[in-house]
Amino acid sequence: MSLRLGDTVPNFKASTTAGDIDFYEYLGDGWGVLFSHPADYTPVCTTELGRTALLKEEFRKRNVKALAVSVDPLDKHLGWVKDINETQNCTVDFPIIADEDRKVAELYDMIHPNASATATVRSLFIIGPDKKLKLSITYPASTGRNFHEVLRVIDSLQLTADYSVATPANWNAGEDVIVVPAVSTEDAIKKFPKGVKVIKPYLRYTPQPNID
């Protein structure tokens, strides 16, 4: 059965371009982004892995570890990484899982037979420090994912884990956020000293609380 938000994600051991790993140990007490791609030596995947490598510092600042997976073997991954580094001007140093026996693909329901009987689709999972699933998205093989959007969601998840706020449509870090309905306006004024703007009783904004 597919994973749903709030589920504890399954652990696994795997062979990767960075050596053998235990998934939970690799994540430690940080956040994780596990994403599958259909195949090595394909153009869209090349750009996706390159983009993830170029955003290394952004992932590091947020305490997020990335991990890619496809059903190709390790030697193929290692050869392809050289091409990614050359063509995308990057250094891929996050692990790419060689999931030849499809163990990870099946655990995470990454093969959608009506799309492809053998290749993984573009699944992406954001996993919290509690090992629970915070977000999942599935893209078709023909559409590369937006890794700035992945970072934006992580910013929202990390903020809303600590404060009684939610983030509005198209929100980006630094912009005003929404006070959650469970907090009364009276309490919101006490909780959010930067101020609360009441548009409607259910629509209240406050400046992002965790920045100066």
Residues engaged in binding ligand BEZ (CB under 6 A):
38-39, 42-45, 141-142
Residue whose tokens read 């235990």: 22
* Minimum CB–partner distance for residue 40 and ligand BEZ (Å): 9
3-state DSSP: the chain helix, strand, coil percent, rounded to 5? 30, 25, 45
Do the beta carbons of residue 105 and residue 117 sit within 8 Å?
no
* Minimum CB–partner distance for residue 177 and ligand BEZ (Å): 35
Nearer to ligand BEZ, 84 or 159 (CB): 84
Length, in residues, of the chain? 212
Q: How many CB atoms lie within 10 A of CB 184?
A: 13
Nearer to ligand BEZ, 115 or 189 (CB): 115
Catalytic residue among 33, 45, 49, 104: 45
Nearer to ligand BEZ, 31 or 94 (CB): 94
How remote is the C-alpha of 139 from its chain's centroid?
13
Nearer to ligand BEZ, 3 or 44 (CB): 44
Do the beta carbons of residue 97 and residue 69 sit within 8 Å?
yes
* 102 Cβ contact partners less than 8 Å away, ≥ 6 residues apart: 71, 111
Query: What one-character-per-residue DSSP string does 147-208 give?
Result: HHHHHHHHHHHHHHHHSSEE--TT--TTS-EEEPTTS-HHHHHHH-TT--EEEETTEEEE--
* Minimum CB–partner distance for residue 56 and ligand BEZ (Å): 21
* Minimum CB–partner distance for residue 139 and ligand BEZ (Å): 11
**Catalytic-residue membership of 45:** yes
Supply the residues annotated as catalytic: 45
